[in-house]
Amino acid sequence: MVLPGNALPFKVGCCMMLVEEGMMLTLKTPAETAVVLAQQAKALRLLKGWTRATMAQRAGVTVSSLKRFEQTGKASVELVLKIAHALGRLDEFDKLLQPPLAQSLAELEQRAAKSAPKRGRI
């Protein structure tokens, strides 16, 4: 594994962490992230006092799909979005996969001047 700059790795539970100049980066796997997301969704469901059947009905998914998601983290993106919508948290997904913030006014102007690429180059 190649570490960026002066990063120092250490393990916390199941996840590898990197600390570099006051910044902490988590190196969780997609499967670990899915399990955490499922645990958070279940905790929100229980805070509302909903059974799985209630949650499934409100989200428009089957109880078995909801159970599988809560227990394993395995689900389609559509199912996760439906669950988030039922929990009133769908807007949080708008923050995902945003381009990095411009580091200077020149970079911001450069981005505005050129159109977004339609496909990758590599």
pLDDT tens digits for range 43-100: 999 999 999 999 999 999 999 999 999 999 999 999 999 999 999 999 999 999 888 8
Strands (E), the chain: 8-12, 15-20, 23-27
Flag whether 118 is in a domain.
no
Flag whether 115 is in a domain.
no
Flag whether 48 is in a domain.
yes
What is the count of structural domains for the chain? Answer: 1
CATH code: domain of residue 60: 1.10.260.40
- Mean confidence (pLDDT) of the chain: 85
6: confidence class by pLDDT, cuts 50, 70, 90: low
Going by C-beta distance under 8 Å and a sequence separation of 6 or more, which residues neighbour residue 112? none
Full residue range of the structural domain in which residue 85 is found: 30-91
Flag whether 102 is in a domain.
no
Closest by CA to 83, choosing from 31, 48, 33, 38, is: 38
16: confidence class by pLDDT, cuts 50, 70, 90: low
